[in-house]
Amino acid sequence: MILLIITVIFLVGSVAAADTASNDNTLIQHDSSTTEVSTSSVVSDTSSVSTSDSSKSSSSSSSSVGTSVGTTVNASSSSSSSYSSSKLISNKPSKSIKSSSDSSTSSKIKTTTSVNNAEVGGYDTLILNATVKNSNNKVISDGTVVFEIDGNKIGTATVDNGYAIYKYNIPGYAANKYTISANYSGTDEYYSSSDKSTLTVNKYNTNIKISSIHATPGKTITLKATVKTSSGSNVKNGKLTFKINNKSINTVRVSNGVASTNYTIPKSWADRTYSLYVVYGGNSVYKSSSTDDGKLYLNSVVNTKVTVKTVSVTASNTVTLSASVKDAKTSSNINGGKLSFKINGKTIGTVKVSKGGATLNYKVPATWKGSYKISVVYGGYNEYKSASATGTLKVSQAPSTKITVSNIKGSPGSNVTLKATLKTSTGSLVKSGKIAFKINSITVGTTTVKNGVATLKFHISSEFADSSYTISAVYGTNNNYLSARANGTLSIIANDNIPSNLKEYLKATRNCEVNSKTIQSIAKKFSGYTSTKAKATSIFNYLNSITSYSGYYDTRYGAVGTYQRGYGNCVDMSHLLIAVSRASGIPARYCHATCTFRSGLVVGHVWAELYVNGKWVSCDLTSSSNRFGKIVNWRSHTTIHRYISLPF
């Protein structure tokens, strides 16, 4: 029996040794204060554990998980000693931190922390960002982190997805080095942990500005300076000393970037320029700085010479008043100060002096006439004294004008030139302005007057009857001349070679838009011809060259639409040719019959007839082979029906 028991014990020991050997890559070594995981594997089941204080091997039925926690504080820093209002501390490689408690047999998970150094200014906003992870580098989302600076608690943040973030407005730390602590509280599942780093607080650079002052001996003045950091923030505190010619006047406290003091100038001080010097002493948060940019001008010690030009202008015009402002001794330009312009003692404007001069535009009232006093007053600037001067503004009324309109004769379809001559009441030619021409009160155009003459080309459409029409020329008031108006006569004489019974063949009809702007503009191209046949031939050739035939029934586009498209059937082509001919003063009519074309096609067809030199001439735009008075694309036709206005 005894032998059997010993054998069983030996066998159990062998099994334990075998288990230990098969799991030697998960062996964990520890001492009383630290626990380090030798591999990334987790010890489980009945693994053998070796301890530093015992050579014995023991089996464990519980699981032991090695973990680590890292806390990272991020902040941006700059090599400059000037800081913005918000700083973010940047990450650094995490480092293993010893846990505040340890047990190789506990089920809680160990953590580590890391925190970075930061560099800020004494009033900056510091963003503390702690990162909490376990030893498997997994983020933790439980517990809180308490942040401290030099052992003083500044705030607590909850850990969420591995991060705890806290925003801290630094309350004016002196330039120095401080210790940042980030302490993770731990939970029922995780051990607590912490880390420390260095917070470096630097002084802000500062800038000072002081304004120059004009005064007189015996006067009390206010010296004022602004003190800001290099980033433009107001300096919150410290002391500033005011000096005049390097002699201290007073030392005052800076509050929200401003320091000021009142000072009564001794009556014994001479009239000259003094230096204003200010010194900010700095403190534990701000660096010192100084400036001597300010000046104290007692009276003005340099004489100024001001001159103003005499100018002439016509009433209702805008005149430019100008003055020069110079050093009375050296005649050098003065660049600063303000100058007021007055007319007959009334201020009309104040402008800045630049490069030794000042100008002002002024519109003279329409009722003014004669001479007016110009006064300019310079208020002084720095060492320059005030000064004034006077000049004269000469105002004349615009001269009256007289128009002569030329009488004109013309015939329908021709071009004429409307002409008006414009002079002043003294007989001088008017050199500018515009004249509007009207015929029977309807404006037909506006043109510019040049050397006393205004002309306008006008096309007499075929709609004008044999009669007399009133030409009106209207000249409008402007800055130089008064308005005027006069009339002339346009006499329309009918073409002698057109019988009175053919006047109907000159009128606009349906789809034959004789009076449209488009058709009238085409007719103007041929207004220079004196021969009716030459004009008719040119019209046909032009339209034949820019159009092409397209097959469809009846009217579709009319004369204007056919011209705009550049194509049409026989009906629309006839509309176009007849409309332009009538607009040019040539009677024209429609012809319709059944025609036999050279291709053998027999079909209804429309063409035009133009009345030239006492007879009707057939014209057909449907073929480029056709010529004026000669049709070759068809040979014969049935009875012809002729129309003034085509019914289809």
The 10s digit of each residue's pLDDT in 129-175 is 999 999 888 999 999 999 999 999 999 999 999 999 999 999 999 99
Same domain? For 237 and 150 the reply is no
Could you tell me the CATH number of the domain that includes residue 541? 3.10.620.30
The per-residue pLDDT for 106 is 59
582 neighbors 622 (Cβ within 8 angstroms)? no
Non-local CB neighbours of 565 within 8 Å, separated by 6+ positions:
557
Same domain? For 139 and 224 the reply is no
Kindly state the greatest CA–CA separation across the chain: 162
Residue 66 forms part of a structural domain: no
Non-local CB neighbours of 75 within 8 Å, separated by 6+ positions:
87, 88, 89, 90, 116, 118, 119, 120, 126, 127, 128
Residue 71 forms part of a structural domain: no
Residue 73 forms part of a structural domain: no
Same domain? For 357 and 427 the reply is no
Instruction: Decide which of 202, 227, 258 is a domain's last residue.
Output: 202
Residue 64 forms part of a structural domain: no
259 neighbors 225 (Cβ within 8 angstroms)? yes
Q: 570-583 vs 532-546: helix axis angle to the nearest 10?
A: 140
168 neighbors 125 (Cβ within 8 angstroms)? yes
Same domain? For 533 and 596 the reply is yes
What pTM value is reported for the model?
Answer: 0.39
Residue 81 forms part of a structural domain: no
The per-residue pLDDT for 48 is 32
Assigned token pair, 313: 């202008």
Burial of 637 (0-12, 13-18, 19+ CB in 10 A): middle
Angstrom distance (rounded) from CA 8 to CA 149:
63
Residue 346 forms part of a structural domain: yes
Angstrom distance (rounded) from CA 242 to CA 420:
79
Same domain? For 422 and 550 the reply is no
Instruction: Decide which of 253, 273, 298 is a domain's last residue.
Output: 298
Same domain? For 222 and 193 the reply is no
Instruction: Decide which of 157, 180, 202 is a domain's last residue.
Output: 202
The per-residue pLDDT for 495 is 58
Angstrom distance (rounded) from CA 202 to CA 79:
10
47 neighbors 23 (Cβ within 8 angstroms)? yes
- Report how many domains make up the chain: 6
| Of residues 276, 293, 356, the one with CA closest to residue 322 | 356
Residue 80 forms part of a structural domain: no
Same domain? For 292 and 255 the reply is yes
Q: Could you tell me the residue range of the domain that residue 254 belongs to?
A: 206-298
Same domain? For 112 and 196 the reply is yes
Same domain? For 384 and 365 the reply is yes
Same domain? For 344 and 323 the reply is yes
Angstrom distance (rounded) from CA 62 to CA 450:
114
Residue 225 forms part of a structural domain: yes
The amino acid occupying position 11 is L
The size of the chain, in residues, is 648
Task: With a cut of 70, list the residues of the chain below it in pLDDT.
Answer: 1-106, 300-301, 462, 466, 494-498
Same domain? For 292 and 346 the reply is no
b/e map of 330-368 (b: 16 or more CB within 10 Å)?
A: eeeebeebebbbbbeeeeeeebebeeebbebebebeeeb
Same domain? For 566 and 446 the reply is no
- For residue 220, what are the β-bridge partners? 264
The per-residue pLDDT for 252 is 97
Could you tell me the CATH number of the domain that includes residue 336? 2.60.40.10
The per-residue pLDDT for 414 is 81
